[in-house]
Amino acid sequence: MANYLSGIFGSSPVAPLQEHMDIAYRCARQLIPLFEAVVKKDWVAVEDCRQTIRDLESEADEMKQEIRSNLPKSLFMPVPREDLLELLLVQDRVANRAKDVSGLVVGRKMELPEAIAEPFIKFVRCSVAAARQARKSVRELDELFETGFRGAEAKLVESMVAELDRLESESDALQSELRGGLFKLESELPPVDVMFLYKVIDLTGEVADFAERVGRRLELLLAH
Amino acid sequence: MEDMQIYIGLAAVFGLFMAWGIGANDVANAMATSVGSKALTIKQAILVAAIFEFTGAVLAGGEVTSTIRKGIIDAASVSDSPELLIYGMLASLAAAGCWLSIASKMGWPVSTTHSIVGAIVGFAVVGIGIDAVHWGKIGKIVASWVVTPMIAGFAAYLIYSSVQWLIIGRENPLERARRYVPVYIFLAGFTITLVTIFKGLKHAGLALSTQQAYLVATVFGILIALIGKFFINRIQIDEKADREFHFATVEKVFGVLMIVTACGMAFAHGSNDVANAVGPVAAVISIAKSGVVGQQSPLPLAVLVLGGVGIVVGLATFGRHVIATVGSKIIHLTPSRGFAAELAAASTIVMASSTGMPISTTQTLVGAILGVGMARGITAINLSVVSRIFISWVITIPAGAILAIIFFYILKAVL
C-alpha cells in the first residue's frame, strides 16, 4: 500500500547529533584520568586512557559519516542543512583534539614537570568542563526544534552558551598562566620536551576552543 | 429504459467497489497523522473514522457529488443517446477503481479524485465529443487542485505560528496550553460545523437561516471545547519525561485537540471523497430511471448512504492494517504540529466540499504539512518524496482517462 504520506517525514538528525556530541564529550573527559596518570607516571593507565579515547573517537567518526549520509540536500529543515553539518564538524573536532593530545602524550612518553603538574590538571579540567557545557547545550537541540528556535527555550540556550564562553575564557586564562609557568622552567628541561609540552598545552586549549565553537554554531541556529 | 435494472445494479456494484477502495486506502491518509502522533489508538481511529466519514459523506457530500454527476459533462450533447453517458460513467468507475488498485499495489501515490475526474473527461472527449465537456468547470476544478494545498499550507502556517507565539515559545507553555487549547478546539468545531450547515445540510433535508447557522455552530463549538477542557484538566504532569518546560505534557494537551481535528479530518474526507464513488452512480441512476439525461432530478440521499456504507466497510476490512502501517511511520509529527496540519486541511476541504469542488484530500493535507514545515515546525521534510507525490498525481489524470476510454468501448460493445 502507498505509504507515501509517511515518506514525507525525513529521519530527524537531532538525536544522532546529540549522541555524537555525547561521545565527543566522553572522549574529551578521558583527558583528566590520562593526565592524572601521567602525573603518577602510571604508564599502563595512560595507555588505557588513550585506547578509550581512540575507540570513542573512531565511534564519533563513524557516527559523523552516518549523520552526513542521512542529510540529503532534498531535506527541508527549519535550519539550514549546512549549519547542522558545520555543527557536526566542530563537535567532531572536540573528539579529534582529545585524540591528538593523547597520541602526543603516549608517543613521547611525556612527563609533566612537578612545578606545573597542578596548574596543568586544573587547565585540563577546565577545558573538559567547556566540552561538558557544550554537550549540555547540544542536549537542548531537541527542545529547540520543538519550539522552533524561538521564545523561552532559545533564551535558555543563549544563557548556556554564555556560560560556555565564560568557561572557554577561563581555560584561556589558565592556559597563559601555564605557559608562564613553563617558561620559567624552560632552561632546566630538555628543549625538545619543552617544545612538545607547549604543543600539548595548545592542543588541550583547542578542546575548549572547539567546545566554544559548538556554542557559536548553536547561536547561529538561533539567529535564523 | 429496458435495461434499467442492469445499469443501476452495475453502477451500484462499481460504486460500492470504489467506495470500498477509498475506505481501505484513502482514509488511512486522513487518520494516520492522529495515530502516528499517538493522539488516538488504531481502534479509536477506526471508530472515529467510521462515524465521521459516514456523517461527512451523508451530510456534506452532496455538492461534490452533484459536480461529478452533472457538472463535468454537458447534458445537452448526449440528449439523443443517453445510454452513452451510462456507459461512460460505468467505464469511469471501472477505470478509476482499476487504476487505484494497481497504484496501491505498486505503492504509487494517487488521488481518487484525480483519477475519477480524468476518467470522466477521458470518456467524454473520445466517446461523445470534445464539446461535451464543460471546460470552464474543468478549469475551475484543476485550479482548485493547485489552490487548495496552498490555502491549506498558508492556514497551517498561520495556525502553527500562533501556537508558537501563544504557547510553545513561552516560559510556561503547559499553563498556556491548558488555557488556549480549548480555544483551538472551539475554532475547529465552529468552522467545520458552520461550513457544513451553510452548504451541505440541504441535501439531508435541513435548511437553517444564517443567524441560526452561526448560533448552532457557536453552541456546538463551545460544547466540544468544554468537553475538551474537561479532559485537558485531567492530564497529569509527566515528571519523568519532562525537563525545563514540560513539553511532553504540553503535547498530551494538544493530543486532546488532535482528537477533535481527527474527527474533522474524517468528516471532511467523507464529504469530499464520497463523491468520487457515488457521483457517477447518481448520474447512472437518474438517467436510467428517467430515460433522459435528467439533470434536474434531485440527488437521492440513498446514494450518499451507499457511498458512506462502502467507505466504512472498506475501513473495517482493510483500513485497519493500512492505518497501522502509515501511522507507525509518521512518528515525527507531534500533536502540536499534527493538529495544525489537520485543522487547516479539514477546514479547507470542507469549504471546497461546500462549493462542490472535488479536490484531493491527501494533497491538501500534504500542503498543510508543508505549511507547518515553513513555520519551522517539522524537523525534516523529504522534498524529493513531496515532488514524487505531485508528479504521480499529474500522471494519474491521463492514466484514468485512457483506462476509461478502453472500458467505455468494451461496455459499448458488450451492453
Q: Tell if the CB–CB gap between A4 and B107 is shorter than 8 Å.
A: yes
Closest CA–CA distance from residue B350 to any residue of chain A (Å)? 21
Nearest-neighbour CA in chain A from B29: distance (Å): 7
Q: Which three cell numbers stand for residue B43?
A: 481502534
Check: CB of residue B199 under 8 Å from CB of residue B354.
yes
Distance CA B282, CA B298 (A): 10
Point out the least confidently predicted range of A89-93, A115-119, A170-174, B387-391.
B387-391
Partner B contacted by A69 (CB < 8 A): no
Q: Is the pLDDT of residue A146 over 90?
A: no
Could you count the other beta carbons within 10 Å of the beta carbon of residue B410? Answer: 14
Asked if the model's pLDDT at residue A89 lies above 90, the reply is yes
**Tens digits of residue pLDDT in A128-140:** 999 999 999 999 9
Given a cut of 50, is residue A1 above it in pLDDT?
Answer: no
Per the CB < 8 A criterion, the answer to whether B124 and B408 are in contact is no
pLDDT of residue A2: 43
Give the residue numbers spanning the domain of B151.
4-414
Residues of B with Cβ-Cβ distance to A146 under 8 angstroms: 168, 247, 334
Q: Report helix, strand or coil for A76.
A: strand
| CA distances to A91, B162, B382 from A130, in Å | 12, 37, 35
Q: Which H or E element spans position B382?
A: strand B381-382
Inter-chain CB proximity A143 and B247 less than 8 Å: yes
**B168–A4 CB contact, under 8 Å:** no
* N- to C-terminal Cα separation, chain B: 13
Q: Phi and psi of A75, rounded to 5°?
A: -80, 130
**Residue of A3, A5, A150, A222 to mutate, testing the B interface (most B Cβ within 10 Å of its Cβ):** A5
Percent of chain A beyond pLDDT 90?
A: 75
Placement of cell 486541511 in the chain: B345
Question: If 0-12 CB within 10 Å is exposed, 13-18 middle and 19+ buried, where does residue A183 land?
Answer: exposed
Looking at the complex, does the CB of residue B391 fall below 8 Å from at least one CB of chain A? no
Residue of B nearest to A151 (CA): B169
**Structural contact between residues B177 and B254, judged by C-beta atoms closer than 8 angstroms:** yes
Per the document, the length of chain B is: 415
Question: Any chain B CB within 8 A of the CB of A44?
Answer: no
DSSP B287-300: HHHHSS--TTSPPP
Evaluate whether B374 touches B157 at the Cβ level (below 8 Å).
yes
Q: In the prediction, which pLDDT does B242 show?
A: 54
CB pair distance less than 8 Å for B381 and A6: no
Written as one letter, the residue type at B37 is S
Show the beta-strand stretches assigned E in chain A. 75-76
Distance between CA B409 and CA A198 in Å, rounded?
Answer: 89
Q: Is B388 exposed, middle or buried (0-12, 13-18, 19+ CB in 10 A)?
A: middle
Q: Spell out the residues 6+ positions from residue A170 whose beta carbon is closer than 8 angstroms to its own.
A: A126
Question: Between helices B112-123 and B82-106, what is the axis angle to 10°?
Answer: 140
Q: Which residue has better confidence, A164 or B414? A: A164
**Spatial contact of A63 and A23, defined as CB atoms under 8 Å apart:** yes
| Segment 174-233 of chain B within 8 Å of chain A by CB | none
- Are the C-beta atoms of residues B51 and B259 closer than 8 Å to each other? no
In eight-state DSSP terms, residue B72 is: S
Taking an 8 Å cut-off on Cβ atoms, the answer to whether A9 and B332 are in contact is: yes
* A13 interfacial to chain B (CB closer than 8 Å): yes
The whole-angstrom separation of Cα B111 and Cα B100 is 8
> Looking at CA atoms only, how far is residue A73 from chain B in angstroms?
9
What number is the ipTM of this complex?
0.79
Residues of B in contact with A154 (CB under 8 A): 169
A-chain residues within 8 Å CB-CB of B369? 8
User: How many domains does one find in chain B?
Assistant: 1
Task: Please judge whether B103 and A2 are an interchain contact, meaning their C-beta atoms are less than 8 angstroms apart.
Answer: yes
Phi, psi of A9, rounded to the nearest 5 degrees: -85, 110
- Chain B residues whose CB is inside 8 A of the A11 CB are 380
Number of residues in chain A: 224
Nearest to A148 among B32, B243, B376 (CB): B376
For B325, which of A1, A14, A143 is closest by C-beta distance? A1
Chain A residues near residue B325 by CB distance under 8 angstroms = 1, 3
B378 interaction partners in chain A (CB closer than 8 Å) = 9, 78
Interface contact A78-B32, CB threshold 8 A: no
Identify the three-state secondary structure at position B37: coil
User: How many angstroms separate the CA of residue A201 from the nearest CA in chain B?
Assistant: 37
**Inter-chain residue contact A152 with B169, CB threshold 8 Å:** yes
Task: State the pairing for strand pair B381-382/A75-76.
Answer: antiparallel
CA–centroid distance for B38 within its chain: 21
Count of A-B CB contacts under 8 Å? 126
Q: Quick check: A5 contacting B, CB < 8 Å?
A: yes
User: Residue B192's Cα: distance from chain center in Å?
Assistant: 13
Chain B residues within an 8 Å CB radius of A145:
379
State phi, psi for B73 to the nearest 5 degrees: -105, 135
Q: Which residue numbers in chain B have pLDDT < 70?
A: 1-2, 199-207, 238-245, 291-297, 329-331
Distances (CA, A) of B119 to B24, B123, B239, B274, B322: 21, 6, 56, 16, 26
3-state helix, strand and coil shares in percent for chain A, rounded to the nearest 5: 85, 0, 15
What nine digits make up the cell of B191? 468552522
**Inter-chain residue contact A7 with B377, CB threshold 8 Å:** no
Q: Which residues of B touch A4 (CB under 8 A)?
A: 107-109, 385, 388-389, 392
With CA atoms as reference, the chain A residue closest to B384 would be A74
Give the pLDDT of residue B368: 93
Contact status, residue B208 vs residue B197, Cβ threshold 8 Å = yes
- Sort A189 into a burial class: Cβ within 10 Å, 0-12 / 13-18 / 19+: middle
Which residues make Cβ contacts (< 8 Å) with residue B29, sequence separation at least 6?
A: A5, B326, B361, B362, B365
Eight-state DSSP code of residue B83: H
A18 touches chain B (CB under 8 A): no
CATH superfamily of A12-223: Phosphate transport system protein phou homolog 2; domain 2 (1.20.58.220)
| A17 vs B contacts (CB less than 8 Å) | none
C-alpha cell belonging to residue B352: 471546497
CA B295, chain centre distance (Å)? 25
Query: Is A80 an interface residue toward B (CB < 8 Å)?
Result: no
Which of B251, B382, B386, B392 is best to mutate for the A interface (most A CBs within 10 A)?
Answer: B382
The residues facing A75 across adjacent strands are B382
